[in-house]
A and B are shown apart, each in its own frame.
Chain A
């Protein structure tokens, strides 16, 4: 990570971890991550923006920060890029739910030992970690593609993969948390209820599978691999 990007990550974390108001976010300049330096912004690219948007999901911050970044970007296909923003928030929220689940199962004791020591729990959380890694990979690759050229395919795959990961992982998160995760007071529901909502917004699994499937079929088997590796 470049020094500048590390600085952005530090600032983002410092501001968003404290349930900020819009004024604090503006003051920190997070909405201007894509705005050129000459115009008082950070002068970053989409990969820089990913750090900020993903952190909104991680910290369950509902401020219109992704929307402000998108507005400043000049991206033409606003609906497509809104799906990319949401996939990034989902990747962040999945990571937060995973961290919470790991922490909880290491503390909670039953049969005289931590839940984390049972293979039945370990194997489920391993799947959760894999799905979270996959969602984060898909999102990172989509944001990188957005800096390059037409990123329709990458963004479509990223939102779909994030939806798939959320479907599998939210179930595991609740299962390993037991009744505690089902309470209004405990933090898990702030993440999982957002993930369920976001799974429907800007394209659920059917929406994106259908479109990707139609495009792949139209191109035919002889182009599948060449297109994927282009």
Chain B
């Protein structure tokens, strides 16, 4: 079963050289950033930081130069995002655009869409959000009801999206909408680029359990979307979403989200930990090292032009389990420690339940894996 085949992938020399460059940049750019803020990882965003990264040429790295990209390899991009995540850089403003919206436009978008949007994404100027989930369509994504009705020169879109991360900051939403009949379940779906400044778009932040607002409700009330903002062909939305989710699920952000509390734990236990502490460190290290090898293997598959959807599901489920086990195990093991440690731990204990929900729930991923096994 090819989905479970993970050939080792070694980073080429130019990717290794790049790592030092990125580390030096981040050391400078993030000096004095406290641990608990680094723990926010890709949930935290700063337009200013995204522009800086754009200037470095570290957004849209693999895209063609004609669209503002840098024609670097997948391996080089991997190194950059690994270093950004481990350093806890505020990458949230461009993260979705770089990871999936840009690649989606590159693959399915029109020439005009690419020319207009990709260079701005690569400069760190644009923030995208993903308009997939709705009140009645979460794991059952094909149940989306937001409707796009044809009018002169385009569509009028009406409906509601929910759990939309970054919608309150986003310039654009890529919205999965129903352009056909409800009976045509998958075939009736299309994706539209919605300008978040359009009349009829209302964004209401939803406070999460930490009191912060990352996700939102988005109400679309007869929003006009020009004809030119259809991505690919009408009725092609479901296939596009499938391709997009492989990008969304395969990256190192699916096993590194809790690394900050692990590093804090190493700091407070010091060079001579107790046996119990050593056992915890050893267990988590072996799991993390293995996941990194798997994540690299997925990069190798992407570089070879494969669609590693099943491998990505394997990495994400194993990775988010590790991200959730680390804060819980660290809490069980930790003695009295300082404020920086406690705040980082507390933040990750509270946010880690979302890791196995966002980007496809654990149960959905296991369903994908079961299908590859031939069980369904």
User: What is the interface of chain A, defined by CB distance below 8 A to chain B?
Assistant: 102, 105-106, 116-117, 119, 121-123, 125-127, 129-130, 132-134, 136-138, 140-141, 144, 153-154, 156-157, 160-161, 164, 205-206, 208-214, 216-218, 220-221, 224-225, 228-229
Contact = CB atoms under 8 A, between A and B. Distances in A.
A127 B317 CA distance: 9
A163 B257 CA distance: 25
B330 to A, nearest CB: 13
B72 interface: no
A117 B375 contact: yes
Given A133-B314, A217-B278, A157 B289 contact: yes
Given A141-B8, A224-B266, A225-B259, 12 more contacts: A102-B373, A117-B376, A133-B4, A137-B8, A138-B286, A140-B293, A209-B278, A209-B280, A213-B283, A216-B266, A216-B282, A221-B263
Interface stretch (B126-134, B201-209, B232-240, B362-370): B362-370
A188 B317 CA distance: 26
B119 to A, nearest CB: 31
A125 B286 contact: no
A17 to B, nearest CB: 19
Contact of B294 (A106, A125, A134, A213): A134
Contacts, number: 153
Interface stretch (B136-144, B241-249, B267-275, B349-357): B267-275
Given A116-B376, A122-B375, A134-B290, A164 B283 contact: yes
Nearest to B19: A229
B86 A225 contact: yes
B76 to A, nearest CB: 14
Contacts of B318: 130, 134
Interface residues of B, number: 52
Contacts of A106: 374-375
A84 B318 CA distance: 23
B277 interface: yes
The residue in A117, A138, A205 that gathers the most chain B C-beta atoms within 10 A of its C-beta is A138
A154 to B, nearest CB: 8
Top 9 closest pairs, chain A to chain B, by CB:
A209-B282, A213-B278, A213-B282, A126-B366, A122-B370, A213-B281, A212-B282, A126-B369, A221-B266
Contacts of B8: 137, 140-141, 144
A71 to B, nearest CB: 25
Interface of B: 4, 6-8, 10, 19, 82, 86, 259, 262-264, 266-267, 269-273, 275, 277-283, 285-294, 297, 314, 317-318, 363, 365-367, 369-370, 372-376
A228 B289 contact: yes
Contact of B285 (A117, A119, A127, A157): A157
Contact of A102 (B267, B363, B375): B375
A81 B373 CA distance: 32
B143 to A, nearest CB: 19
Nearest to B263: A221
6 contacts: A129-B373, A209-B281, A213-B281, A213-B285, A216-B282, A229-B19
A209 B269 CA distance: 16
A130 B314 contact: yes
Contacts of A164: 283, 286-287
A179 B282 CA distance: 36
Contact of B288 (A119, A129, A213, A228): A228
A221 B82 CA distance: 17
B363 A123 contact: yes
A208 B4 contact: no
B369 A137 contact: no
Contacts of B271: 217-218, 220
A125 B369 CA distance: 9
Given A130-B369, A132-B4, A229-B82, A205 B375 contact: no
Contacts of B365: 126
Contacts of A144: 8, 10
Given A106-B375, A220-B271, A213 B290 contact: no
A147 to B, nearest CB: 11
